[in-house]
Amino acid sequence: MDQAQQLRNIIKASQQRPLARVITVTSGKGGVGKSNTAINLAIQFRKMGQRVIILDADFGLANIEIMFGAVPKHNLYDLIYKGMKMSDIITWGPGEVGFISGGSGIVGMSNLSRDYLSYIIQNLAQLDAMADIIIVDTGAGISDAVLEFLVASGEILLVTTPEPTSITDAYTLLKALGRHERFSRTDTKIKVLSNRVESEEEGRTLFSKLNLVVSRYLKLDIEYLGSVPQDEELRKAVMQQTPISLKDSKAKSARAYEAIAGTLMNKEVGKTIQKRGMAAFFSHIVAGKKNL
């Protein structure tokens, strides 16, 4: 059996166990609320009894850990290069949300040998047994690393705000995604969240504008997920390093996250979302370079 076959067998074996739902949060422009979305949805899913792990794949700034107020000792790099176990690199934060810092681990993955990759993918597959939902928080913009995550995702959550640049950058990101050689229109659902809106109406209008150009020029299907209002309480919560959904579950932004988490749970479970799990997610990421 050649090595590629070996790797495919590992992925197949891991897929026979229950798989986690992988949701990738992204945006065209930075600072629009991705990390807040990731962490607050994680907490809302926890409240619904789901086991949740966040993978922080934003290599620039370690946002999530700052927002958590819990600094992880280890990251994915330690698993890949230092032989640490998955359980050693997960930090359990407030609300019992698991958190893994990507560190610089994922960047170098494409240069690793197949043996090494199969070892890593086997380790990542353990996440499917540890979580029902894995939320990947990506960096902003159209870097190769972000696109790799997006094409590997079954479910993309695109965060935008009413700022004109946020909408045009979201369009540019979708354009790059649609052109990516490994992007599949049928396998990936793109859901849009309007953040920092003054009214629900503003959120829907924002989506309509984006959808108009995306369906006309990119021929991509996007779906509206809902909106999160501009909320001063959320900003204060960030300053206090406590996610708003834990600090004040009655705050208007926390209620909006609750509603959105509810929508994500109700509409999809067992239906349209094909759970691929973590092993398949990562094998997708390395596939481009490795020809698995």
Ligand X SMILES: Nc1ncnc2c1ncn2[C@@H]1O[C@H](COP(=O)(O)OP(=O)(O)O)[C@@H](O)[C@H]1O
195 is an interface residue for ligand X by CB under 6 A? yes
DSSP state letters, 171-232: HHHHHHHHH-TT--TTT-EEEEEEEEESSHHHHHHHHHHHHHHIIIII---EEEEEEEE--H
Closest to 138 measured CA to CA, from 75, 63, 53, 57: 57
Q: Write the DSSP assignment of 218-240 as a string of letters.
A: I---EEEEEEEE--HHHHHHHHT
Per CB under 6 A, which region of 71-79, 91-99, 102-110, 226-234 contacts ligand X? 226-234
Binding partner of residue 75 among ligand X, Mg ion, none, CB cut-off 5 to 8 Å per kind:
none
Candidates 3, 8, 15, 30: give the one binding ligand X (CB under 6 A).
30
- The b-or-e profile of 199-216 (16+ CB within 10 A means b, else e) is eeebbeebbeebbeebee
Site string for Mg ion, 57-96 (x = CB under 5 A): ------x---------------------------------
Q: Which is nearer to ligand X, 124 or 136 (CB)?
A: 136
Stretch that binds ligand X, among 2-10, 13-21, 232-240, 274-282 (CB under 6 A): 232-240
Q: Which does 52 bind (CB under 5 to 8 A by kind): ligand X, Mg ion, none?
A: none
Q: Does 34 bind Mg ion (CB under 5 A)?
A: yes
Residues 45-84 that bind ligand X (CB under 6 A): 63
* Residue 52 vs residues 131, 159, 163: alpha-carbon distances, Å: 5, 20, 31
Residues in touch with Mg ion (CB under 5 A): 34-35, 63
Residues that bind ligand X (CB under 6 A): 27, 30-36, 63, 140, 195-196, 228, 230-231, 234-235, 238, 253
